[in-house]
Structure 1
Amino acid sequence: MTIHKEGYTSIAITLLVIFVANALVHYLIPDNELVVWGVYILSFLLFFTVLQFFRNPKRTIITDDNIVLCPADGQVVVIEETEETEYFNDKRIQVSIFMSPVNVHINRNPVSGEVTFFRYHPGKYLVAWHPKSSALNERTSIAVRTAQGREILFRQIAGALARRIVWYVKEGAAVKQGEEFGFIKFGSRVDVFLPLDAKVDVKIGDKVSGGLTVLGRFE
Structure 2
Amino acid sequence: MSQKAQRGKFIVIEGLEGAGKSTAISTVINYLSKHGVESPVTTREPGGTPLAEKIRELVKSPEITEPVAPETELLMMYASRAQLVKTVIEPALESGQWVVGDRHDLSSRAYQGGGRGIPDNQIQAIKTAVLDDFTPDLTIYMDIDPETGLARARGRGELDRIELEAIGFFERTRDRYLELAQSDSTIKTVDANRSLAEVTSQLEELLAKEVAPWLK
Report the TM range for the smaller structure's normalisation. Answer: under 0.3
Larger Rg: 1
Report the structure, 1 or 2, having the larger helix content: 2
Report the structure, 1 or 2, having the larger strand content: 1
- Please give the TM-score of this superposition, normalised by the length of structure 1: 0.24
